Amino acid sequence: MIGARAIPLPWVLVAPGLWCVAAFIVLPIVSVGAYSFWTRLPSGEVQTVFTLGNWREFFTDPFYVAVLWSTLKLSTATTIICALVGYPPAYALSLIGPRWKGLLVVMLFLPSWISYVVRTMSWLHVLGKNGLVNSLLLGAGVVGEPLPLLYNDMSVVMGLVHYLLPLMILNVYIGLQSVDRNVVDAARTLGATDWQAFLAVTFPWSLPGLSAGCLLCFILSAGTYVTPLVLGGPGTSYYAALIYESVIPQADWPLGAALALVFIFVLAMILVAYGRLVGMGHMFQGIK
Amino acid sequence: MTAAGPSLGARASSGLLWLFTGLVYVFMLAPVFVIVLLAFNPPEFGSFPITGMTLKWFWALADNRPIIEAIKTSLLLGLASSTISTVIGTAAAYALARFRFVGRDIVQLLLTLPILVPHIILGVGLLLAFRLIGMSKSFTLLVIGHVAITLPFVVLTTQHRLQAIPSSLEEAARTLGANRFETFREITLPLTLPAIFAGFLFAFMMSFDELTATLFWRPANVETVPTHVLGMLQYSVNQEINALATALIVVSVALPLGGMLIARRVALGGRAKQPAAVEKPA
Protein backbone atom coordinates (compact mmCIF):
# COMPACT_ATOMS: atom_id res chain seq x y z
CA MET A 1 0.00 0.00 0.00
CA ILE A 2 1.36 3.39 -1.00
CA GLY A 3 -0.45 5.15 1.85
CA ALA A 4 1.08 2.93 4.52
CA ARG A 5 4.60 3.47 3.21
CA ALA A 6 4.18 7.23 3.27
CA ILE A 7 3.78 7.41 7.08
CA PRO A 8 7.08 8.46 8.67
CA LEU A 9 8.72 5.83 10.90
CA PRO A 10 8.47 7.76 14.21
CA TRP A 11 4.70 7.99 13.79
CA VAL A 12 4.45 4.28 13.05
CA LEU A 13 6.33 3.62 16.30
CA VAL A 14 4.26 5.93 18.54
CA ALA A 15 0.93 5.07 16.91
CA PRO A 16 0.08 2.02 19.09
CA GLY A 17 0.88 4.01 22.25
CA LEU A 18 -1.25 6.96 21.18
CA TRP A 19 -4.04 4.60 20.19
CA CYS A 20 -3.94 3.05 23.69
CA VAL A 21 -4.15 6.47 25.34
CA ALA A 22 -7.04 7.50 23.10
CA ALA A 23 -9.01 4.25 23.47
CA PHE A 24 -8.31 3.39 27.12
CA ILE A 25 -7.99 6.82 28.76
CA VAL A 26 -9.51 9.62 26.66
CA LEU A 27 -12.53 7.69 25.38
CA PRO A 28 -13.39 6.36 28.88
CA ILE A 29 -13.33 9.90 30.30
CA VAL A 30 -15.64 11.00 27.47
CA SER A 31 -18.02 8.14 28.25
CA VAL A 32 -18.01 9.17 31.93
CA GLY A 33 -19.21 12.56 30.67
CA ALA A 34 -21.96 10.94 28.59
CA TYR A 35 -23.17 8.68 31.41
CA SER A 36 -23.51 11.61 33.80
CA PHE A 37 -26.34 13.01 31.63
CA TRP A 38 -28.20 9.73 31.22
CA THR A 39 -31.18 8.43 33.16
CA ARG A 40 -31.13 5.58 35.62
CA LEU A 41 -34.46 3.79 35.77
CA PRO A 42 -35.78 2.56 39.13
CA SER A 43 -35.06 -0.97 37.88
CA GLY A 44 -31.35 -0.06 37.81
CA GLU A 45 -31.17 -0.02 34.03
CA VAL A 46 -29.55 2.98 32.34
CA GLN A 47 -31.43 4.68 29.52
CA THR A 48 -29.71 7.00 27.06
CA VAL A 49 -32.22 9.73 27.78
CA PHE A 50 -30.87 13.17 28.63
CA THR A 51 -31.34 14.29 32.24
CA LEU A 52 -29.81 16.79 34.63
CA GLY A 53 -31.00 14.72 37.59
CA ASN A 54 -27.57 13.36 38.50
CA TRP A 55 -26.12 16.84 38.54
CA ARG A 56 -29.09 18.18 40.50
CA GLU A 57 -28.48 15.50 43.11
CA PHE A 58 -24.83 16.50 43.41
CA PHE A 59 -25.47 20.22 43.76
CA THR A 60 -28.57 20.09 45.97
CA ASP A 61 -27.29 17.58 48.53
CA PRO A 62 -24.57 19.40 50.53
CA PHE A 63 -23.19 15.99 51.59
CA TYR A 64 -21.26 15.48 48.33
CA VAL A 65 -19.56 18.89 48.38
CA ALA A 66 -18.73 18.45 52.07
CA VAL A 67 -17.00 15.12 51.38
CA LEU A 68 -15.12 16.65 48.44
CA TRP A 69 -14.00 19.51 50.66
CA SER A 70 -12.82 17.21 53.45
CA THR A 71 -10.93 15.07 50.90
CA LEU A 72 -9.11 18.13 49.55
CA LYS A 73 -8.28 19.24 53.10
CA LEU A 74 -6.82 15.84 54.05
CA SER A 75 -4.81 15.69 50.80
CA THR A 76 -3.46 19.18 51.40
CA ALA A 77 -2.43 18.22 54.93
CA THR A 78 -0.76 15.05 53.59
CA THR A 79 1.12 17.04 50.93
CA ILE A 80 2.36 19.66 53.39
CA ILE A 81 3.54 17.01 55.86
CA CYS A 82 5.29 15.11 53.03
CA ALA A 83 7.07 18.30 51.96
CA LEU A 84 8.17 19.22 55.49
CA VAL A 85 9.22 15.69 56.45
CA GLY A 86 10.67 14.80 53.03
CA TYR A 87 12.88 17.80 52.40
CA PRO A 88 15.51 17.28 55.12
CA PRO A 89 16.30 13.61 54.22
CA ALA A 90 16.48 14.52 50.51
CA TYR A 91 18.90 17.32 51.41
CA ALA A 92 20.95 15.00 53.62
CA LEU A 93 21.16 12.42 50.81
CA SER A 94 22.33 15.10 48.38
CA LEU A 95 25.20 16.01 50.73
CA ILE A 96 26.49 12.52 51.36
CA GLY A 97 29.51 11.04 49.54
CA PRO A 98 29.17 8.35 46.88
CA ARG A 99 30.33 5.58 49.20
CA TRP A 100 27.18 5.33 51.34
CA LYS A 101 24.77 7.09 49.02
CA GLY A 102 23.73 3.99 47.05
CA LEU A 103 22.87 1.97 50.15
CA LEU A 104 21.02 4.82 51.88
CA VAL A 105 18.99 5.63 48.77
CA VAL A 106 18.02 1.98 48.26
CA MET A 107 17.05 1.62 51.96
CA LEU A 108 14.79 4.65 51.73
CA PHE A 109 13.03 3.44 48.58
CA LEU A 110 12.79 -0.18 49.68
CA PRO A 111 9.35 0.34 51.26
CA SER A 112 8.06 1.96 48.06
CA TRP A 113 8.60 -1.32 46.20
CA ILE A 114 6.41 -3.13 48.69
CA SER A 115 2.74 -3.68 47.92
CA TYR A 116 0.57 -0.65 48.72
CA VAL A 117 -2.08 -2.68 50.54
CA VAL A 118 0.60 -4.37 52.67
CA ARG A 119 2.14 -1.03 53.62
CA THR A 120 -1.28 0.36 54.44
CA MET A 121 -2.20 -2.61 56.66
CA SER A 122 1.15 -2.38 58.44
CA TRP A 123 -0.21 0.71 60.18
CA LEU A 124 -2.89 -1.43 61.79
CA HIS A 125 -0.03 -3.20 63.58
CA VAL A 126 1.66 0.06 64.53
CA LEU A 127 -1.32 2.12 65.73
CA GLY A 128 -3.84 -0.57 66.69
CA LYS A 129 -5.08 -1.35 70.21
CA ASN A 130 -2.52 -4.16 70.51
CA GLY A 131 -0.14 -2.39 68.15
CA LEU A 132 3.50 -1.46 68.47
CA VAL A 133 3.00 2.04 69.87
CA ASN A 134 0.39 1.03 72.44
CA SER A 135 2.41 -2.04 73.51
CA LEU A 136 5.47 0.12 74.08
CA LEU A 137 3.50 2.80 75.94
CA LEU A 138 1.67 0.26 78.12
CA GLY A 139 4.89 -1.67 78.75
CA ALA A 140 6.67 1.49 79.85
CA GLY A 141 3.73 2.42 82.06
CA VAL A 142 3.21 5.75 80.31
CA VAL A 143 -0.47 5.03 79.77
CA GLY A 144 -2.85 2.73 81.66
CA GLU A 145 -5.15 2.08 78.70
CA PRO A 146 -4.39 1.70 75.00
CA LEU A 147 -4.73 5.00 73.18
CA PRO A 148 -7.28 5.22 70.33
CA LEU A 149 -4.72 5.95 67.62
CA LEU A 150 -6.40 4.08 64.78
CA TYR A 151 -9.50 4.67 62.64
CA ASN A 152 -9.44 8.46 62.48
CA ASP A 153 -8.24 11.15 60.08
CA MET A 154 -4.81 11.17 61.66
CA SER A 155 -4.18 7.49 60.95
CA VAL A 156 -5.33 8.04 57.34
CA VAL A 157 -2.84 10.90 56.92
CA MET A 158 -0.15 8.75 58.56
CA GLY A 159 -0.75 5.93 56.07
CA LEU A 160 -0.79 8.36 53.14
CA VAL A 161 2.44 10.04 54.23
CA HIS A 162 4.10 6.63 54.54
CA TYR A 163 2.88 5.76 51.04
CA LEU A 164 3.86 9.04 49.36
CA LEU A 165 6.98 10.18 51.23
CA PRO A 166 9.48 8.25 49.02
CA LEU A 167 7.96 9.94 45.97
CA MET A 168 8.40 13.36 47.56
CA ILE A 169 11.97 12.62 48.66
CA LEU A 170 12.84 11.34 45.17
CA ASN A 171 11.53 14.50 43.50
CA VAL A 172 13.25 16.87 45.93
CA TYR A 173 16.46 14.82 45.64
CA ILE A 174 16.38 15.10 41.82
CA GLY A 175 15.75 18.84 42.19
CA LEU A 176 18.74 19.15 44.55
CA GLN A 177 20.99 17.32 42.06
CA SER A 178 20.70 20.34 39.76
CA VAL A 179 22.14 22.67 42.43
CA ASP A 180 25.63 23.76 41.45
CA ARG A 181 27.82 23.15 44.52
CA ASN A 182 30.33 25.70 43.19
CA VAL A 183 27.79 28.49 43.59
CA VAL A 184 27.09 27.37 47.17
CA ASP A 185 30.84 27.37 47.85
CA ALA A 186 31.14 30.81 46.22
CA ALA A 187 28.39 32.14 48.49
CA ARG A 188 30.23 30.69 51.52
CA THR A 189 33.53 32.26 50.38
CA LEU A 190 31.80 35.62 50.01
CA GLY A 191 30.82 35.48 53.69
CA ALA A 192 27.39 33.85 53.72
CA THR A 193 26.66 31.49 56.59
CA ASP A 194 25.54 27.91 55.84
CA TRP A 195 21.96 28.98 56.40
CA GLN A 196 22.24 32.06 54.18
CA ALA A 197 23.84 30.01 51.39
CA PHE A 198 21.09 27.41 51.72
CA LEU A 199 18.30 29.99 51.60
CA ALA A 200 19.83 32.05 48.78
CA VAL A 201 21.15 29.28 46.51
CA THR A 202 20.19 25.71 47.35
CA PHE A 203 16.54 26.17 48.31
CA PRO A 204 15.42 28.25 45.28
CA TRP A 205 17.15 25.82 42.96
CA SER A 206 15.43 22.83 44.51
CA LEU A 207 11.95 24.36 44.16
CA PRO A 208 11.10 22.69 40.81
CA GLY A 209 11.65 19.26 42.36
CA LEU A 210 9.72 20.22 45.48
CA SER A 211 6.75 21.53 43.50
CA ALA A 212 6.67 18.45 41.27
CA GLY A 213 6.73 16.26 44.39
CA CYS A 214 3.89 18.28 45.97
CA LEU A 215 1.76 17.93 42.84
CA LEU A 216 2.19 14.16 42.67
CA CYS A 217 1.53 13.73 46.40
CA PHE A 218 -1.61 15.86 46.22
CA ILE A 219 -3.10 14.09 43.20
CA LEU A 220 -2.30 10.63 44.50
CA SER A 221 -3.66 11.30 47.99
CA ALA A 222 -6.80 13.02 46.67
CA GLY A 223 -7.62 9.99 44.52
CA THR A 224 -6.95 7.35 47.15
CA TYR A 225 -9.69 4.91 48.03
CA VAL A 226 -7.98 2.09 49.92
CA THR A 227 -6.12 4.01 52.65
CA PRO A 228 -9.25 5.66 54.16
CA LEU A 229 -11.09 2.35 53.76
CA VAL A 230 -8.49 0.46 55.83
CA LEU A 231 -7.28 3.14 58.27
CA GLY A 232 -10.17 5.60 58.39
CA GLY A 233 -12.91 5.71 61.01
CA PRO A 234 -16.65 6.34 60.91
CA GLY A 235 -15.96 10.10 60.73
CA THR A 236 -13.62 9.83 57.78
CA SER A 237 -15.25 10.84 54.52
CA TYR A 238 -13.29 10.40 51.34
CA TYR A 239 -14.54 11.31 47.89
CA ALA A 240 -13.20 8.23 46.09
CA ALA A 241 -15.36 6.07 48.39
CA LEU A 242 -18.47 7.93 47.16
CA ILE A 243 -17.53 7.12 43.56
CA TYR A 244 -16.86 3.47 44.38
CA GLU A 245 -20.05 3.07 46.40
CA SER A 246 -22.28 4.47 43.67
CA VAL A 247 -20.62 2.59 40.80
CA ILE A 248 -20.03 -0.89 42.26
CA PRO A 249 -22.38 -1.79 45.17
CA GLN A 250 -25.25 0.51 44.14
CA ALA A 251 -24.63 0.17 40.37
CA ASP A 252 -25.84 3.76 39.91
CA TRP A 253 -23.52 4.50 37.02
CA PRO A 254 -24.96 7.88 36.00
CA LEU A 255 -24.53 9.27 39.52
CA GLY A 256 -21.06 7.71 39.81
CA ALA A 257 -20.17 9.25 36.46
CA ALA A 258 -21.30 12.71 37.61
CA LEU A 259 -19.25 12.34 40.83
CA ALA A 260 -16.20 11.23 38.82
CA LEU A 261 -16.56 14.09 36.34
CA VAL A 262 -16.74 16.65 39.16
CA PHE A 263 -13.56 15.15 40.56
CA ILE A 264 -11.76 15.31 37.18
CA PHE A 265 -12.87 18.92 36.80
CA VAL A 266 -11.76 19.97 40.31
CA LEU A 267 -8.37 18.26 39.92
CA ALA A 268 -7.88 19.86 36.49
CA MET A 269 -8.66 23.30 37.93
CA ILE A 270 -6.20 22.74 40.77
CA LEU A 271 -3.62 21.56 38.22
CA VAL A 272 -4.08 24.69 36.10
CA ALA A 273 -3.96 27.03 39.11
CA TYR A 274 -0.89 25.24 40.42
CA GLY A 275 0.72 25.40 36.98
CA ARG A 276 0.18 29.18 36.92
CA LEU A 277 1.68 29.44 40.37
CA VAL A 278 4.88 27.43 39.89
CA GLY A 279 5.21 27.19 36.10
CA MET A 280 4.24 24.24 33.93
CA GLY A 281 7.82 23.32 33.11
CA HIS A 282 8.60 22.86 36.79
CA MET A 283 5.64 20.58 37.31
CA PHE A 284 6.66 18.04 34.72
CA GLN A 285 10.36 18.10 35.44
CA GLY A 286 9.91 15.67 38.29
CA ILE A 287 7.83 13.23 36.27
CA LYS A 288 10.46 13.05 33.55
CA MET B 1 33.09 33.61 64.77
CA THR B 2 36.42 33.51 63.02
CA ALA B 3 37.29 29.87 63.64
CA ALA B 4 38.39 28.02 60.50
CA GLY B 5 36.43 24.81 61.18
CA PRO B 6 32.66 24.47 61.11
CA SER B 7 31.08 26.56 63.86
CA LEU B 8 29.22 25.05 66.77
CA GLY B 9 25.91 26.19 65.25
CA ALA B 10 26.72 24.58 61.89
CA ARG B 11 27.67 21.34 63.57
CA ALA B 12 24.49 21.37 65.67
CA SER B 13 22.28 21.95 62.62
CA SER B 14 24.08 19.22 60.70
CA GLY B 15 23.55 16.88 63.66
CA LEU B 16 19.86 17.75 63.75
CA LEU B 17 19.60 17.11 60.00
CA TRP B 18 21.02 13.61 60.39
CA LEU B 19 18.97 12.87 63.50
CA PHE B 20 15.80 13.84 61.62
CA THR B 21 16.86 11.79 58.58
CA GLY B 22 17.40 8.79 60.86
CA LEU B 23 13.90 9.20 62.29
CA VAL B 24 12.47 9.28 58.76
CA TYR B 25 14.22 5.98 58.04
CA VAL B 26 12.68 4.50 61.19
CA PHE B 27 9.26 5.82 60.15
CA MET B 28 9.60 4.26 56.68
CA LEU B 29 11.03 0.90 57.69
CA ALA B 30 9.52 0.14 61.13
CA PRO B 31 5.97 -0.75 59.96
CA VAL B 32 7.44 -3.21 57.46
CA PHE B 33 9.58 -4.86 60.15
CA VAL B 34 6.54 -5.11 62.43
CA ILE B 35 4.64 -7.20 59.85
CA VAL B 36 7.60 -9.52 59.32
CA LEU B 37 8.10 -9.89 63.06
CA LEU B 38 4.45 -10.70 63.71
CA ALA B 39 4.29 -13.26 60.90
CA PHE B 40 6.51 -15.57 63.01
CA ASN B 41 4.33 -15.21 66.12
CA PRO B 42 2.46 -18.45 67.10
CA PRO B 43 -0.93 -17.06 68.33
CA GLU B 44 -3.66 -16.90 65.71
CA PHE B 45 -4.48 -13.22 66.20
CA GLY B 46 -1.99 -11.20 64.24
CA SER B 47 -0.92 -8.71 66.88
CA PHE B 48 1.37 -8.10 69.84
CA PRO B 49 2.67 -9.42 72.23
CA ILE B 50 5.28 -11.66 70.62
CA THR B 51 5.16 -15.02 72.42
CA GLY B 52 7.47 -17.21 70.36
CA MET B 53 8.58 -18.13 66.94
CA THR B 54 7.07 -20.41 64.32
CA LEU B 55 7.05 -21.02 60.59
CA LYS B 56 3.62 -22.67 60.62
CA TRP B 57 1.79 -19.65 59.15
CA PHE B 58 4.03 -19.78 56.09
CA TRP B 59 3.37 -23.52 55.58
CA ALA B 60 -0.35 -22.79 55.91
CA LEU B 61 -0.11 -20.43 52.93
CA ALA B 62 0.74 -23.29 50.59
CA ASP B 63 -2.56 -25.03 51.48
CA ASN B 64 -4.66 -21.91 51.12
CA ARG B 65 -6.53 -22.39 47.83
CA PRO B 66 -7.93 -18.82 47.47
CA ILE B 67 -4.48 -17.33 48.03
CA ILE B 68 -2.85 -19.65 45.48
CA GLU B 69 -5.58 -18.75 42.97
CA ALA B 70 -5.09 -15.02 43.62
CA ILE B 71 -1.33 -15.37 43.10
CA LYS B 72 -1.90 -17.21 39.81
CA THR B 73 -4.33 -14.52 38.60
CA SER B 74 -1.95 -11.71 39.56
CA LEU B 75 1.01 -13.40 37.84
CA LEU B 76 -0.95 -14.03 34.64
CA LEU B 77 -2.39 -10.50 34.63
CA GLY B 78 1.02 -8.97 35.33
CA LEU B 79 2.81 -10.99 32.65
CA ALA B 80 0.15 -10.35 29.99
CA SER B 81 -0.26 -6.63 30.60
CA SER B 82 3.40 -5.78 31.10
CA THR B 83 4.43 -7.74 27.99
CA ILE B 84 1.95 -5.76 25.90
CA SER B 85 2.88 -2.40 27.40
CA THR B 86 6.60 -3.19 27.06
CA VAL B 87 6.20 -3.85 23.31
CA ILE B 88 4.03 -0.77 22.70
CA GLY B 89 5.95 1.44 25.12
CA THR B 90 9.41 0.50 23.84
CA ALA B 91 8.43 1.38 20.26
CA ALA B 92 7.15 4.79 21.38
CA ALA B 93 10.16 5.36 23.65
CA TYR B 94 12.53 4.56 20.78
CA ALA B 95 10.80 7.07 18.50
CA LEU B 96 10.82 9.76 21.23
CA ALA B 97 14.45 9.18 22.15
CA ARG B 98 15.90 8.88 18.66
CA PHE B 99 13.85 11.08 16.28
CA ARG B 100 13.02 14.76 16.02
CA PHE B 101 9.62 15.00 14.35
CA VAL B 102 6.76 17.47 14.10
CA GLY B 103 4.38 16.99 17.02
CA ARG B 104 6.96 15.18 19.16
CA ASP B 105 6.28 17.35 22.23
CA ILE B 106 2.54 16.72 21.98
CA VAL B 107 3.10 12.97 21.65
CA GLN B 108 5.39 13.08 24.70
CA LEU B 109 2.74 14.95 26.69
CA LEU B 110 -0.07 12.61 25.62
CA LEU B 111 1.94 9.53 26.56
CA THR B 112 3.03 11.02 29.91
CA LEU B 113 -0.07 12.84 31.15
CA PRO B 114 -2.07 9.68 32.03
CA ILE B 115 0.26 9.36 35.06
CA LEU B 116 -1.69 12.23 36.60
CA VAL B 117 -5.13 10.61 36.16
CA PRO B 118 -6.16 9.02 39.48
CA HIS B 119 -6.79 5.27 39.30
CA ILE B 120 -10.30 5.71 40.66
CA ILE B 121 -11.13 7.76 37.53
CA LEU B 122 -9.44 5.24 35.21
CA GLY B 123 -11.40 2.52 36.97
CA VAL B 124 -14.81 4.14 36.50
CA GLY B 125 -14.02 5.40 32.99
CA LEU B 126 -12.86 2.16 31.40
CA LEU B 127 -15.66 0.19 33.06
CA LEU B 128 -18.32 2.58 31.73
CA ALA B 129 -16.70 2.67 28.25
CA PHE B 130 -16.84 -1.13 28.23
CA ARG B 131 -20.51 -1.07 29.26
CA LEU B 132 -21.19 1.43 26.50
CA ILE B 133 -20.08 -1.01 23.82
CA GLY B 134 -22.04 -3.78 25.52
CA MET B 135 -19.14 -5.66 27.14
CA SER B 136 -19.08 -6.76 30.75
CA LYS B 137 -16.29 -7.15 33.29
CA SER B 138 -13.73 -9.73 32.24
CA PHE B 139 -10.09 -10.71 32.45
CA THR B 140 -9.61 -8.89 29.10
CA LEU B 141 -10.83 -5.67 30.70
CA LEU B 142 -8.28 -6.16 33.50
CA VAL B 143 -5.43 -6.70 31.01
CA ILE B 144 -6.43 -3.68 28.91
CA GLY B 145 -6.74 -1.52 32.01
CA HIS B 146 -3.37 -2.58 33.36
CA VAL B 147 -1.78 -1.84 29.97
CA ALA B 148 -3.26 1.68 30.11
CA ILE B 149 -1.93 2.17 33.65
CA THR B 150 1.60 0.83 33.07
CA LEU B 151 2.24 2.21 29.56
CA PRO B 152 3.35 5.77 30.54
CA PHE B 153 5.82 4.35 33.06
CA VAL B 154 7.32 1.97 30.48
CA VAL B 155 7.68 4.86 28.00
CA LEU B 156 9.38 7.11 30.58
CA THR B 157 11.69 4.44 32.03
CA THR B 158 12.80 3.10 28.65
CA GLN B 159 13.11 6.52 27.00
CA HIS B 160 15.22 7.77 29.88
CA ARG B 161 17.61 4.81 29.53
CA LEU B 162 17.68 5.04 25.71
CA GLN B 163 18.71 8.69 25.86
CA ALA B 164 21.73 7.70 27.92
CA ILE B 165 23.07 5.47 25.09
CA PRO B 166 25.24 7.46 22.66
CA SER B 167 23.66 7.53 19.20
CA SER B 168 27.18 7.55 17.68
CA LEU B 169 27.20 3.73 17.83
CA GLU B 170 24.05 3.58 15.74
CA GLU B 171 25.41 6.18 13.33
CA ALA B 172 28.58 4.11 12.90
CA ALA B 173 26.52 1.01 12.02
CA ARG B 174 24.49 3.03 9.52
CA THR B 175 27.66 4.44 7.95
CA LEU B 176 28.98 0.91 7.59
CA GLY B 177 25.94 -0.01 5.50
CA ALA B 178 23.38 -1.44 7.93
CA ASN B 179 19.80 -0.32 7.34
CA ARG B 180 17.66 1.06 10.14
CA PHE B 181 16.19 -2.31 11.09
CA GLU B 182 19.57 -4.07 11.08
CA THR B 183 20.99 -1.26 13.17
CA PHE B 184 18.14 -1.66 15.62
CA ARG B 185 18.56 -5.45 15.79
CA GLU B 186 22.36 -5.56 15.94
CA ILE B 187 23.23 -2.40 17.91
CA THR B 188 20.27 -0.71 19.56
CA LEU B 189 18.44 -3.79 20.84
CA PRO B 190 21.40 -5.44 22.59
CA LEU B 191 22.44 -2.12 24.10
CA THR B 192 18.91 -1.28 25.24
CA LEU B 193 17.95 -4.70 26.55
CA PRO B 194 18.57 -3.57 30.14
CA ALA B 195 16.33 -0.54 29.54
CA ILE B 196 13.57 -2.70 28.07
CA PHE B 197 13.94 -5.16 30.94
CA ALA B 198 13.73 -2.33 33.48
CA GLY B 199 10.54 -1.06 31.83
CA PHE B 200 9.04 -4.55 31.87
CA LEU B 201 9.93 -5.16 35.52
CA PHE B 202 8.51 -1.79 36.53
CA ALA B 203 5.29 -2.48 34.62
CA PHE B 204 4.98 -5.95 36.15
CA MET B 205 5.43 -4.65 39.69
CA MET B 206 2.88 -1.88 39.11
CA SER B 207 0.35 -4.33 37.70
CA PHE B 208 0.94 -6.82 40.52
CA ASP B 209 0.34 -4.03 43.05
CA GLU B 210 -2.60 -2.23 41.39
CA LEU B 211 -5.69 -2.24 43.58
CA THR B 212 -8.06 0.71 43.19
CA ALA B 213 -8.87 0.40 39.47
CA THR B 214 -8.75 -3.41 39.67
CA LEU B 215 -11.68 -3.29 42.14
CA PHE B 216 -13.77 -1.76 39.33
CA TRP B 217 -12.68 -4.13 36.57
CA ARG B 218 -12.49 -7.59 38.10
CA PRO B 219 -15.33 -10.00 37.46
CA ALA B 220 -17.19 -11.16 40.57
CA ASN B 221 -15.25 -14.39 41.10
CA VAL B 222 -11.76 -13.09 40.23
CA GLU B 223 -9.38 -12.00 42.99
CA THR B 224 -5.89 -10.61 42.49
CA VAL B 225 -3.43 -10.66 45.40
CA PRO B 226 -4.16 -7.05 46.49
CA THR B 227 -7.96 -7.41 46.24
CA HIS B 228 -7.75 -10.67 48.18
CA VAL B 229 -5.65 -9.08 50.94
CA LEU B 230 -8.12 -6.18 51.13
CA GLY B 231 -10.99 -8.64 51.34
CA MET B 232 -9.30 -10.52 54.18
CA LEU B 233 -8.63 -7.24 56.03
CA GLN B 234 -12.38 -6.49 56.11
CA TYR B 235 -12.82 -9.46 58.47
CA SER B 236 -9.82 -9.39 60.74
CA VAL B 237 -6.07 -9.06 60.75
CA ASN B 238 -4.95 -12.63 61.27
CA GLN B 239 -1.74 -14.53 60.83
CA GLU B 240 -2.69 -15.64 57.31
CA ILE B 241 -2.46 -12.02 56.16
CA ASN B 242 0.77 -11.39 58.04
CA ALA B 243 2.44 -14.42 56.48
CA LEU B 244 1.20 -13.52 52.99
CA ALA B 245 2.28 -9.90 53.49
CA THR B 246 5.72 -11.04 54.63
CA ALA B 247 6.07 -13.27 51.57
CA LEU B 248 5.08 -10.29 49.38
CA ILE B 249 7.58 -8.06 51.14
CA VAL B 250 10.40 -10.55 50.55
CA VAL B 251 9.49 -11.00 46.87
CA SER B 252 8.98 -7.30 46.17
CA VAL B 253 12.35 -6.47 47.70
CA ALA B 254 14.17 -9.39 46.06
CA LEU B 255 12.67 -8.93 42.57
CA PRO B 256 13.98 -5.40 41.83
CA LEU B 257 17.32 -6.12 43.52
CA GLY B 258 17.66 -9.27 41.39
CA GLY B 259 16.54 -7.29 38.35
CA MET B 260 19.25 -4.69 39.00
CA LEU B 261 21.89 -7.43 39.28
CA ILE B 262 20.71 -9.15 36.08
CA ALA B 263 20.55 -5.83 34.23
CA ARG B 264 24.07 -5.05 35.35
CA ARG B 265 25.21 -8.51 34.24
CA VAL B 266 23.57 -8.12 30.82
CA ALA B 267 25.07 -4.65 30.47
CA LEU B 268 28.54 -5.88 31.43
CA GLY B 269 28.24 -8.95 29.19
CA GLY B 270 27.18 -6.78 26.27
CA ARG B 271 30.06 -4.44 26.88
CA ALA B 272 32.60 -7.26 27.06
CA LYS B 273 31.66 -8.35 23.54
CA GLN B 274 32.25 -4.91 22.12
CA PRO B 275 35.67 -3.91 20.80
CA ALA B 276 37.70 -2.12 23.44
CA ALA B 277 37.76 1.06 21.33
CA VAL B 278 34.13 1.94 22.08
CA GLU B 279 34.64 1.49 25.81
CA LYS B 280 34.13 4.84 27.47
CA PRO B 281 37.07 6.04 29.53
CA ALA B 282 36.20 5.80 33.20
Could you tell me if B38 and B188 are in contact, meaning their C-beta atoms sit under 8 angstroms apart?
Answer: no
Residue A5 inside a domain? The answer is: no
Give the Cα-Cα-Cα angle B62, B64, B65 (nearest 5 degrees).
Answer: 110
pLDDT tens sequence across A158-200: 999 999 999 999 999 988 887 777 888 888 888 777 778 888 8
> B126 and A244: CB-CB below 8 Å?
no
Mutate to test the interface with B, among A11, A24, A116, A194 (most CBs of B within 10 A): A24
Residue A120 inside a domain? The answer is: yes
pLDDT tens sequence across B168-200: 887 888 888 888 888 878 887 888 888 888 889
Nearest chain B Cα distance for residue A1, angstroms: 20
Inter-CA distances, B101 with A264, B104, B129, Å: 31, 5, 32
State the first-to-last Cα distance of chain B, in angstroms, to the nearest integer: 42
The distance from CA B164 to its chain's CA centroid, rounded to whole angstroms, is 21
The distance from CA A34 to its chain's CA centroid, rounded to whole angstroms, is 27
> A115 and B229: CB-CB below 8 Å?
yes
> B120 and A122: CB-CB below 8 Å?
no
Residues of chain A positioned with their CB less than 8 A from the CB of B115 = 287
**Amino acid A210: pLDDT:** 92
Residue A140 touches partner B, C-beta closer than 8 Å = no
Residue A18 touches partner B, C-beta closer than 8 Å = yes
Residue A48 inside a domain? The answer is: no
Task: Name the residue range of residue A182's domain.
Answer: 61-284
Residue A143 inside a domain? The answer is: yes
Nearest chain B Cα distance for residue A284, angstroms: 9
Q: Is the ipTM of this complex over 0.90?
A: no
Domains of chain A: total: 1
Q: Which CATH number goes with the domain that contains A199?
A: 1.10.3720.10
Residue of A nearest to B131 (CA): A31
Residues of chain A positioned with their CB less than 8 A from the CB of B46 = 125
> A89 and B25: CB-CB below 8 Å?
yes
Residue A201 inside a domain? The answer is: yes
The distance from CA A175 to its chain's CA centroid, rounded to whole angstroms, is 19
Residue A233 inside a domain? The answer is: yes
Residue A180 touches partner B, C-beta closer than 8 Å = no
Residue A37 inside a domain? The answer is: no
Residue A44 touches partner B, C-beta closer than 8 Å = no
Residue A207 touches partner B, C-beta closer than 8 Å = no
**Amino acid A282: pLDDT:** 55
Residue A219 touches partner B, C-beta closer than 8 Å = yes
Q: Is the pLDDT of residue A151 over 50?
A: yes
Q: Which of B112, B148, B180 sits opposite A24 (nearest CB)?
A: B148
Residue A271 inside a domain? The answer is: yes
pLDDT tens sequence across B74-115: 999 999 999 999 999 999 998 998 888 888 899 999 998 888
Closest-CA residue to A266 (of A228, A229, A218, A227):
A218
Kindly report the average pLDDT of chain A as a whole number: 87
